[in-house]
């Protein structure tokens, strides 16, 4: 059986980002299915923490199954599921206007919240929640603006990623929609629940009952995955198959090393996920 490299030999829980680490667009990254299987054979707990709010957790199960990676709904902590859990702490059975896709809507509804879609009910809206919406419409932006400025809605966001990794390059991320609403309201979201905020990692650690020193996050973005992991106090591993590259790490080190920059520097950098094993 293959062994983990020295820096990771004590981990009991591995948290993986999805886009840019497990796959890019519709393509599994080389050898990742074998890596996940080998980690399971080492009895390491595997979970997935993605900022992408567009899919339901069942859709992620099905997607990984297509890649020959077995998983369960409880293995996934998306910005949509984390947002739904955090919103539920603020108010039970809230009325919510959503800029986002099925993943966000279904997670909110599963927690007992009502999705408002009719303009005449804008004053009833408790929260406007914004996630990635690949069918982003002006009329929805206008209604979200109305709910906040003319109604009583509070503004929250799933994540603020500027880009989304795909097969070749990147596409606009949820941060574009968040900035659009910021711009037309003059108001920033009260909270952004996805990475780099550590809410999701803290929830994972609580539910899996694994100490921080035995947990590692594997991500492709310095400003989300690595920053969130460092803020949560777990080991951080940058995988160079997604957005951030070695030059970005080097650039951080050249800048004034304030706390934000320090928290974006990973403990370990790997060219690809397969490098977690010794030869």
**CATH 3.30.450.40 is the classification of domain 6-51+195-276:** no
Phi and psi dihedrals of 14, rounded to 5? -115, 120
**CATH 3.40.50.300 is the classification of domain 91-192:** no
One digit per residue, the tens of pLDDT, for the chain of length 279 reads 688 999 999 999 999 999 999 998 889 999 999 999 999 999 999 999 999 999 999 999 999 999 999 999 999 999 999 999 999 999 999 999 999 999 999 999 999 999 999 999 999 999 999 999 999 999 999 999 999 999 999 999 999 999 887 877 889 999 999 999 999 999 999 999 999 999 999 999 999 999 999 999 999 999 999 999 999 999 999 999 998 999 999 888 776 666 667 899 999 999 999 999 987
Angle between the N-to-C axes of helices 174-185 and 138-149, in degrees from 0 to 180, rounded to the nearest 10: 50
Are 223 and 251 in contact, with CB atoms under 8 Å apart? Answer: no
Are 128 and 144 in contact, with CB atoms under 8 Å apart? Answer: yes
pTM: 0.90
- The domain spans of the chain are 6-51+195-276, 91-192
pLDDT of residue 195: 95
Is the peptide bond between 5 and the residue preceding it cis, with omega within 30 degrees of 0?
A: no
Phi and psi dihedrals of 96, rounded to 5? -130, 135
DSSP string, 252-274: HHHS---HHHHTTS-SEEESSGG
Domains 6-51+195-276 and 91-192 share a fold: yes
């Amino acid at each position: 059986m293959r062994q983990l490299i020295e820096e990771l030999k004590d981990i009991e829980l591995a948290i993986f980002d999805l886009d840019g680490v497990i796959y890019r667009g519709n393509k599994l990254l080389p050898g990742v299915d074998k890596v996940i299987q080998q980690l399971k054979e080492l009895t390491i707990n595997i979970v997935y923490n993605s900022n992408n709010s567009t899919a339901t957790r069942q859709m992620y199960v099905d997607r990984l199954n297509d890649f020959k990676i077995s998983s369960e709904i409880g293995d996934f902590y998306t910005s949509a599921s984390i947002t739904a859990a955090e919103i539920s702490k603020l108010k039970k059975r809230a009325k919510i206007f959503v800029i986002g896709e099925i993943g966000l809507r279904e997670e909110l509804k599963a927690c007992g919240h009502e999705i408002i879609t009719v303009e005449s009910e804008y004053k009833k809206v408790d929260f406007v929640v914004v996630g990635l919406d690949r069918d982003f419409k002006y009329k929805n932006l206008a209604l979200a603006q109305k709910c906040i400025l003319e109604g009583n809605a509070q503004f929250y966001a799933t994540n603020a990623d500027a880009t989304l990794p795909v097969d070749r390059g990147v596409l606009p991320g949820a941060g574009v929609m968040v900035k659009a609403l910021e711009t037309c309201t003059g108001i920033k979201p009260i909270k952004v629940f996805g990475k780099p905020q550590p809410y999701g990692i803290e929830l994972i650690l609580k539910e899996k009952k694994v100490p921080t020193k035995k947990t590692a996050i594997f991500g492709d973005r310095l400003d989300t995955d690595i920053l969130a992991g460092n803020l949560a106090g777990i080991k951080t591993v940058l995988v160079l198959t997604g957005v951030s590259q070695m030059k970005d790490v080097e650039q951080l080190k050249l800048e004034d090393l304030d706390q934000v920059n320090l928290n974006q520097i990973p403990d370990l950098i790997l060219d690809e996920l397969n490098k977690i094993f010794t030869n």
